[in-house]
Chain A
Amino acid sequence: MRLTPRGVFWLKVVLHVVFLLPALYLVALVMTDNAGGDPVQYIIHYTGMGAINSLLATLLISPIAKRFKLAALMQTRRLVGLYVFAYALLHIAAFISLDLLFAWGLLFEEVIKRPYILVGAAALIIVTLLALTSPNKIKRKMGKRWQSLHNWIYVVALLAPIHFYWSVKSEIIEPSIYIVLFVGLLFYRRASIKKWLMPN
């Protein structure tokens, strides 16, 4: 099987639809009063899951491309990665605006006091840096440093499921499954991670 440039284009269109639809669905749920007893909590959880699922999809692209020898598939990875950023941004924006209602002092205190929020904040900062350096122009300018910066996605792949696991009260099965999936995807990359951590 081969992916033609036209095929890549349509695949990108499909991916945009796949990642935009859940956000539109959330808007519809909230507008029609179907987002549970506390829509704010619902929105925060929903967008958080959107971010973690997009992250899983991002990390699946290169294993799939390698397994099925579809090098052109790699051209879709930035798009999916930017949806991780978009959902993470919605997640934190909902927390700050709808839940804390812009009580910045409280936000500051919470980030410091609650390890799970600190872990999430760290992941968000990394993802933001990756999104800001994602345009081709910047990538070219950064040269070798671009790859070493973008390897930090491996750190996010650990921080995000830990943040999820830590944020629930007792239903730990789902976050545990995510931890296993992410560790599996990192294990698949153990060679390149080793090279990144120990360059010599």
Chain B
Amino acid sequence: MPWKYGFKSIKSVVRIRVMDKQPPTSWNQLASHEYGFYANVNPEVDHPRWSQASERSIGEGGLFSAKRIPTQMFNGYGDFVADLYKNMDLRKFY
């Protein structure tokens, strides 16, 4: 799920179950005011505790050579996945 990296998201898939209802998710249960069901980073909407408009990449070069870059919608994978979320208010469904 490369378009979700950086959010409370799936790290590995062990099983896929098809549900008739939206299931509860752990981060949404722990902090529902901060984390929604879809776990998408929307650069246009702030996380309650920080801006999501830009990001600092981790692990490239040293501590002092990092750069802040503008965050892209769907982590830059919009061409492949944006249609999954079409007609959704992405401020509400994140």
Contacts and interface: CB of A to CB of B under 8 A. Distances in A.
A169 B63 contact: no
Interface stretch (A46-54, A63-71, A73-81, A110-118): A110-118
B49 interface: yes
Contacts of B58: 37-38, 40
Nearest to A106: B51
A99 B68 CA distance: 9
B63 A106 contact: no
Interface string A77-107: 0000000000000000000011111010010
Given A100-B68, A103-B54, A169-B34, A113 B63 contact: no
A102 B79 CA distance: 32
Binding site of B, secondary structure by majority: helix, strand, loop or mixed? loop
A2 B48 CA distance: 52
B68 A98 contact: no
A101 B67 contact: yes
A123 B51 CA distance: 22
A103 B56 CA distance: 11
Contact of A167 (B49, B59, B64, B66): B49
Given A37-B58, A169-B49, 6 more contacts: A37-B59, A40-B66, A101-B56, A103-B68, A106-B68, A169-B34
Contacts of B48: 114
A62 to B, nearest CB: 35
A170 B63 contact: no
Interface of A: 30, 37-40, 97-101, 103, 106, 109-110, 113-114, 116, 167, 169-170
Nearest to A116: B49
Contacts of B56: 40, 99, 101
Nearest to A166: B49
A98 B49 CA distance: 18
A98 B34 contact: no
A39 B64 CA distance: 11
B31 A169 contact: yes
A163 B59 CA distance: 28
B66 A101 contact: yes
A27 B92 CA distance: 42
Contacts of A113: 46, 51
Interface in B13-42: 30-31, 34
Contacts of A167: 49
A9 to B, nearest CB: 37
